[in-house]
Structure 1
Amino acid sequence: MQIVRLGIIGLGNMGKGHIHYLVNGEVSGVEVTAVSDAIEANLAWAKEKLGDQVGLYLDPLKMMDSGLVDGVLIATPHFSHPELAIACFERGLHVLCEKPAGVYTKQVREMNEAGSKANVKFSMMYNQRTNPLYVKLKDMIDAGELGEIRRTNWIITNWYRSQSYYDSGTWRATWAGEGGGVLLNQDPHQLDLWQWTISMMPKRVRAFCYFGKHRNIEVEDDVTAFVEYENGATGVFVTTTGEAPGTNRLEISGDRGKVVIENNELTFWRLRVPEPEFNKEYKGGFGQPECWKCEIPVQGSYPDHKGITQNFVNAILFDEPLIAPGEEGIKGLMLSNAMLLSTWTDNWVDLPIDEELFYQHLQDRIANSSFQKEAVSK
């Protein structure tokens, strides 16, 4: 294979965005040969953008069976991601899936199982994994610069969304239309980075999600979660779409110092002596380890979506290791599912979560969703 023939399912904002950089030749070794969308106007747009040779399909399964594609980029609404990915796997097609992996881990686990049986490449569009800030942070932690992780804290509240944003579509911010709120729509990248950079998932979660707290919506728009890790470390995750001005600050503390990422800068407060060693030897009463503030140089470009797409293509053509393996999409989703389930049950939730219990709670809310009732009435 000299070039990857790519099909794109879903021509909303994300699907069209991917087409723009692909048409401009910003990713090598790939050509968009077919697209699928349920709206004919979007297919007409794609034909104008991509030319007369591109295959146009209202039915994504027909596109998969057309013989025109080697791989598929899925950029459809959240609920359909696992179903479409599984259909691709069954046909031996490579898959690059937009975030989130799905709405609930039960369906995503089925997707992962199907992917593991197929001899194809499967990647998630976790483009933030190409951000040099987080690449450097992960490198530092993996190298032991922070020592053992003791605390994580991410305040990510700069997702401001007005009521008019939610009112722009009846499916928006509904359980039936999107399956969740800020955790599922705005935070998938942060939830992924939260566990990816430290290579740890929590062992249990206690969360407080508020539904329609700041806006007239069904789903969560304000969340504070507390987590515990197996090694005794703790963490806090705070997010909302109703706060202005917002904050984006990630702080990770270890027994050798602390790292903060804020305002696109990475700062390392490095202890000259690890805290456990200092505590063991120090006899002076009040006192603390000597600390050096280090401005960490962060080098490299930020290829963003193009970087993940290029990596996906290179994985197919040259067996390059994937930056964001598709099976890892379940991790961030499990964190958001756990936060919702903790709120719904008013209790701690152990990880991995009870997937059947979460699914039952979600189905109850979908059944009473305004978008579901609207669909039934039609």
Structure 2
Amino acid sequence: MNEVRIGIIGLGFIGCMHAASLAKGDVPGAVLTAVCDSNPDKAQWVKENLGENVTLFTDVDEFLTSNIIDGVMIATPHPFHTELAIKAFKHGLNVLVEKPAGVHTKEVRLMNEAAAAAGKVFSMMFNQRLNPLYMKLRDIIASGELGEIKRTTWIITNWFRAQSYYDQAGWRATWAGEGGGVLINQDPHQLDLWQWVIGMMPKRVRAFCHFGKHHNIEVEDDVTAYVEYENGATGTFVTSTGEAPGTNRLEINGDLGKIVVEDEKITFWRLSVPTSEFSLSFKGKGFQQPECEKIDVPIEGEINEYNWSGIIQNWVEAIAKGTELIAPGEEGIKSLTLSNAMQLSTWTDNWVNLPIDEDLYYEHLQEQINKSKAKVNV
């Protein structure tokens, strides 16, 4: 396949941005041939920004059966991701889905099964995996330089939103409209990176979600979560849309030191000997600890948290050449597992073991949706 024909469903902010980028030729080997949006008023924008060679559809089924696309990018609100992706797979199309994969893991599991049955290329828009900061961090941990992971801590509270942000649309920050708050709207990238950089998921989660703590909304806008891993390590994840100034600090402690990612820098405090070894071998008195070297880790490449085109390029090359995916679609369930588990832990006031009880989560989610003031259901 010399050229991959791309179609986009959803011409909101992100969909229009992807469409304009593809139309300009920002992704070699890809050509934008079609877009789909239920709003017919998009016709003028399509004509002015995408050219006459891009066909606009207002009906999804006509779009999917048009025979002018090889791959579909889904850029609709996330409650519609799973249904659209499954339809696309059934029509033999490759799929790239915006984050998050969906609302809850039960529906995303169905999407994963459809992808496997179709045998098509399925990718997630986890563009933060191309951020040199997290790529370097992952490499350091995978190399063993940090030793065995002992603790992970991510404070990500620089999401401040005024009430007016939530008041812009009736579906926003509602259970029926979004299926969650800060965890599903702002944090999918961080939840994905949290497990991706260290290479493991927790075995259980205990969380405290506060619903409408800082705003007049239904869903969570402040979360503190504690997790435990199979190797005995622990972790915390703190997030909020009600704090200013906020913080974005990821700290990972291992047997050979500590790494901090903050202010677009990586700092590594590397120990001369592992703490476990030093603790047993040191025979002196006092509060001696292993010698420590502070290293400002050099980062290769431009730190660009919006490298959407890199993920699209990788997806296109996977379709055309079989290139390995950076963000396989099947992994979209992992970040959603974490957010679902945090909500479920709060609703049940208890620990949640992973893999999550999908039926129990769905049951609790439906209770929230039934009480929701929004008019649309996820």
TM-score, normalised by the number of residues in structure 2: 0.97
Task: Name the aligned partner's letter for residue 349 of structure 1.
Answer: V
- Corresponding residue for residue 274 of structure 1: 274
Between the aligned partners of 1:24 and 1:138, the Cα distance in structure 2 is 33
Give the Cα separation in 2 of the matches to 1:126 and 1:47.
29
Decide whether the 8 Å contact of 2:149 with 2:233 is kept in 1.
Answer: yes
Deviations 1:239-284 (A, max 9, x none): 0001000000000000011100000000000001111111121011
- Given that 2:159 and 2:186 are in contact with CA atoms closer than 8 Å, whether structure 1 keeps it comes out as yes
Taking the TM superposition and a 5 Å limit, the aligned residue runs for 1:40-59 are 40-59=40-59
> Does the aligned pair in 1 maintain the 2:154–2:250 contact within 8 Å?
yes
Distance of 1:43 and 1:350 partners within structure 2: 48
CA distance in 1, matches of 2:140, 2:245: 30
Partner of 2:221: 221
**Could you say what secondary structure the match of 2:114 adopts?**
helix
> 1:17 Cα deviation (Å)?
1.2
CA drift of 1:50 comes to 1.4
Task: Give 1:333's match in structure 2, choosing from 333, 336, 341.
Answer: 336
Three-state SS of the structure 1 residue aligned to 2:293 is strand
Residue 363 (structure 1) aligned to one of 362, 366, 372: 366
Contact (CA 8 Å) 2:3, 2:320: kept in 1 or not? Answer: yes
Query: CA separation in 1, counterparts of 2:4 and 2:48?
Result: 21
Question: Any conservation in 2 of the 1:35–1:43 contact (CA below 8 Å)?
Answer: no
Deviation (angstroms), 1:43: 3.6
Conserved 8 A contact 2:20-2:50: no
Shift of the alpha carbon at 1:3? 0.6
Is the contact made by 2:252 and 2:258 (CA closer than 8 Å) also made in structure 1?
yes
Q: Distance in 1 between matches of 2:43 and 2:153?
A: 44
Residue in structure 2 matched with residue 354 of structure 1 by the alignment: 357
Between the two proteins, what is the percent identity of the paired residues? 64
Does the aligned pair in 2 maintain the 1:5–1:69 contact within 8 Å? yes
User: Which residue in the other structure is 2:11 paired with?
Assistant: 11
Aligned length, in residue pairs: 374
Q: How does 1:49-198 map to 2 (within 5 A)?
A: 49-198=49-198
1: distance between equivalents of 2:250 and 2:46?
39
In structure 2, the residue matched to 1:291 is 292
Classify the secondary structure of the residue corresponding to 2:337. Answer: helix
Q: Which residue pairs with 1:250 in the alignment?
A: 250
Give the Å deviation of 1:48.
Answer: 2.3
* Distance in structure 2 (CA, Å) of the matches to 1:43 and 1:63: 15
SS at match of 1:40: coil
Q: Secondary structure, in 3 states, of the residue corresponding to 2:314?
A: helix
How far the C-alpha of 1:23 sits from its partner, in A, is: 2.0
Cα-Cα RMSD: 1.1
Structure 2: distance between partners of 1:227 and 1:156: 16
SS in 1 for 2:283: coil
What is the alpha-carbon distance in structure 2 between the residues aligned to residue 110 and residue 90 of structure 1?
12
Matched-pair contact (CA < 8 Å) for 2:154–2:237:
yes
CA distance in 2, matches of 1:304, 1:65: 30
1:27 aligns with 2:27: yes
Post-superposition shift, 1:189? 0.1
For structure 2, which runs of at least 5 residues remain unmatched after alignment?
A: none
Alpha-carbon distance, 1:335 to partner:
0.1
- Structure 1 residue ranges, 4+ long, deviating more than 4 angstroms after superposition: none
Q: Which residue of 1 aligns with 2:239?
A: 239
Question: Distance in 2 between the 1:332 and 1:151 partners?
Answer: 19
1:306-333 alpha-carbon deviations (Å, 9 max, x no partner): 1101111111111111000000000000
Q: Which amino acid aligns with 1:229?
A: Y
Moved more, 146-155 or 110-119: 110-119
Equivalent AA in structure 2 for residue 259 of structure 1: I
Paired amino acid for 2:290: P
- How far apart, in 1, do the equivalents of 2:166 and 2:72 lie? 30
1:155, 1:249 within 8 Å by CA — same for their partners in 2? yes
Tell me the secondary structure at the aligned position of residue 180 of structure 2: coil
Please tell me whether the aligned partners of residues 36 and 43 of structure 1 are also in contact (alpha carbons under 8 angstroms). Answer: no
Residue of structure 2 in register with 1:314 after alignment: 317
| Contact 1:55–1:68, Cα closer than 8 Å, also in 2 | no
> Matches of 1:278 and 1:371 in 2, distance apart?
58
The CA deviation at 1:40 is 1.1
Amino acid aligned to 1:172:
R
* Partner-residue secondary structure (3-state), 1:175: coil
Work out whether residues 161 and 241 of structure 1, in 8 Å CA contact, stay in contact via their aligned partners in 2: yes
3-state SS of paired residue (1:183): helix
Name the amino acid aligned to 1:155.
I
> d(CA) in 2 for partners of 1:300 and 1:194?
21
Report the Cα offset of residue 236 of structure 1: 0.3
C-alpha distance in 2, partners of 1:55/1:119?
Answer: 27
Q: Distance in 1 between matches of 2:308 and 2:17?
A: 9
Alpha-carbon distance between aligned partners in 1 of 2:219 and 2:134, rounded to the nearest angstrom:
29
Equivalent position SS for 2:41: helix
